[in-house]
C-alpha cells in the first residue's frame, strides 16, 4: 500500500475568524487568496501565506458592494476568471432549499454573482438574475430535487471552477448523487456578453467515478491551467452520512474516471475549498476548511502524484 500524506488544519487568525465556514477559495495575487464564508454574504475574506505555508497577517474582510439583500445566500463555490482583461471572481450559492420561511412555503438559496477584483477597497458585484431557474430548465434531471432540503437528497451545489481553455463554468454537485458517481455540470459563458442568463450555454453533465468512491458528493473543484486538469474535493453527500471520508482527486476534464490521491485529512477537518499556487517554481495546494482554518502542502509530497 502506498504511503499517505496526512494533512492537518491551522486555525485562522485572529480568533474571530476561527468560526468561518470557509468554502471556495482562489488565488488573487502572489501568496494571497480570497475565500468564502458561507455564513457571511457581505464579504469575501483574504488570507496571505508565507513560502512555508504559515499565515501572514490577519484574515481580512473585503466587503461586497452592490449585492441586494437575499440575492446571494449560502455562498459555496468561488472561481477565478480573466474576463476582458479584468480579474473576475464568480461566486455561486448552493441553490438549495432552506427552512420554510414566513412568506413562502420554502425559501431558496440563490445567486450567481460576478465580482470585479481589485487589491484594495470594496469589491463591486453584479448579480445574474434567474440563474437557478435557468439551470433547472437546462438540466431537468435536477428538477425533482429542487424542492427537497439538502439532507433529504435535495439540490446542493458546492463546487465551482473556471475552465479557461473552454470558457466554461464547471459546477460540482454535492447532492443529489447516484453512487458510485459524482456529477459536474459544464456551462459555457460568453465573456463578452452582458451578465445575464443569455450569456450561458448548457453543456453536458459529467459523471465521474473512482474505484474507491463511496457515497460522496463534490465539495469543491478547481482548474489548474498549467496542467490542464482539475482538483476535486469529495466528501459526504448528506449531513447524515457519518464516517464518509473527504478525499482529494484529480480529473482530466474529459474521462469518467478520477484518481484519488494519497492524502488523508485529520479527523476534525472539513475541507471545502481547494486551489493550487506556485512558490519559487514549486507547486503547492491550499485547502480551506469549513471548521475555520486552512492547510497547505507541496504537491510533490503527495505519494505517487507528479
Q: Which domains does the chain have, with CATH numbers?
A: 25-301 (2.115.10)
Tell me which residue of 276, 186, 184, 279 sits closest to 224, measured CA to CA. 276
CA–CA distance, 6 with 36 (Å, rounded to integer): 25
Q: Give yes or no for residue 297 having a pLDDT over 80.
A: yes
Residues in the chain: 306
- Band the pLDDT of 69: cuts 50, 70, 90: confident
| Arithmetic mean of pLDDT, 105-134 | 89
Which pLDDT does position 107 carry in this prediction?
A: 67
Q: Which residues of 47-62 are buried (b: 16+ CB within 10 A; e: fewer)?
A: bbbeeebebeeebeeb
Asked if the model's pLDDT at residue 212 lies above 70, the reply is no
- pLDDT reported for residue 100: 56
Q: Are 237 and 148 in contact (CB under 8 A)?
A: no
Strands 229-236 and 216-224, bridge-based pairing: antiparallel
How far is the C-alpha of 83 from the C-alpha of 133, rounded, in Å?
24
Cα–Cα distance for residue pair 173/86, rounded to 1 Å: 28
Class of residue 76 by CB neighbours under 10 A (exposed 0-12, middle 13-18, buried 19+): buried
pLDDT of residue 68: 82
Q: Report the DSSP pairing between strands 263-265 and 5-7.
A: parallel
What torsion do the CA atoms of 253, 255, 257, 258 make, to the nearest 10 degrees?
-10
Q: How far is CA 100 from CA 73, 92, 96, 149, in A?
A: 15, 21, 12, 10
- pLDDT at site 6: 97
Q: By three-state DSSP, how is residue 301 classified? A: helix
Question: What local confidence, expressed as pLDDT, does residue 218 receive?
Answer: 94
C-alpha cell at 161: 471552477
- The pLDDT of 223-249, averaged and rounded, is 88
| Alpha-carbon 140 to chain mean position | 23
Least trusted range by pLDDT, from 203-207, 212-216, 290-294: 212-216
Residue 83 CB: number of other CB atoms within 10 A? Answer: 16
Report residue 102's pLDDT band, with 50, 70 and 90 as the boundaries. Answer: very low
- Report d(CA 115, CA 159) in Å as an integer: 17
CA-nearest of 110, 32, 101 to 70 is: 110
pLDDT tens-digit map of 13-61? 999 999 999 999 999 988 999 999 998 889 999 999 998 899 999 999 9
pTM above 0.85, yes or no: yes
Percent of the chain with pLDDT over 70: 95
pLDDT tens-digit readout, 197-208: 999 999 999 999
pLDDT at 238: 80
What is the separation of C-alpha 189 from the centre of its chain, rounded to a whole number of angstroms?
18
Q: Which residues contact 227 (CB under 8 A, 6 or more apart)?
A: none
Amino acid at each position: 500500500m502506498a504511503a499517505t500524506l496526512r494533512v492537518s488544519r491551522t486555525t485562522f487568525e485572529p480568533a474571530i475568524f476561527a468560526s468561518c465556514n470557509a468554502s471556495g477559495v482562489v488565488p488573487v495575487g502572489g501568496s494571497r487568496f480570497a475565500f468564502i464564508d458561507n455564513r457571511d454574504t457581505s464579504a469575501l475574506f483574504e488570507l496571505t501565506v508565507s513560502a512555508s505555508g504559515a499565515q501572514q497577517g490577519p484574515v481580512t474582510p473585503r466587503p461586497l458592494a452592490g449585492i441586494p439583500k437575499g440575492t446571494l445566500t449560502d455562498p459555496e463555490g468561488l472561481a477565478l476568471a480573466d474576463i476582458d482583461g479584468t480579474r473576475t471572481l464568480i461566486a455561486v450559492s448552493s441553490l438549495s432549499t432552506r427552512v420554510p420561511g414566513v412568506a413562502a412555503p420554502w425559501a431558496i438559496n440563490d445567486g450567481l454573482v460576478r465580482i470585479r477584483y481589485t487589491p484594495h477597497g470594496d469589491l463591486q458585484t453584479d448579480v445574474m438574475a434567474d440563474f437557478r431557474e435557468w439551470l433547472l430548465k437546462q438540466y431537468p434531471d435536477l428538477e425533482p430535487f429542487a424542492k427537497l432540503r439538502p439532507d433529504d437528497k435535495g439540490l446542493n451545489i458546492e463546487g465551482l471552477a473556471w475552465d479557461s481553455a473552454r470558457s466554461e463554468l464547471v459546477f460540482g454537485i454535492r447532492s443529489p448523487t447516484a453512487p458510485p458517481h459524482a456529477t459536474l455540470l459544464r456551462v459555457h459563458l460568453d465573456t463578452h456578453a452582458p451578465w445575464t442568463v443569455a450569456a450561458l450555454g448548457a453543456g453536458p453533465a459529467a459523471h465521474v467515478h473512482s474505484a474507491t468512491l463511496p457515497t460522496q458528493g463534490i465539495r469543491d473543484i478547481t482548474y489548474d491551467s498549467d496542467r490542464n486538469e482539475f482538483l476535486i474535493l469529495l466528501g459526504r453527500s448528506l449531513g447524515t452520512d457519518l464516517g464518509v471520508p473527504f478525499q482529494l482527486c484529480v480529473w482530466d476534464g474529459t474521462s469518467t474516471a478520477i484518481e484519488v490521491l494519497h492524502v488523508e485529512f485529520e479527523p476534525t477537518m472539513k475541507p471545502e475549498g481547494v486551489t493550487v499556487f506556485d512558490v519559487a517554481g514549486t507547486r503547492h495546494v491550499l485547502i480551506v476548511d469549513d471548521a475555520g482554518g486552512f492547510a497547505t502542502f507541496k504537491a510533490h509530497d503527495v505519494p505517487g502524484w507528479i
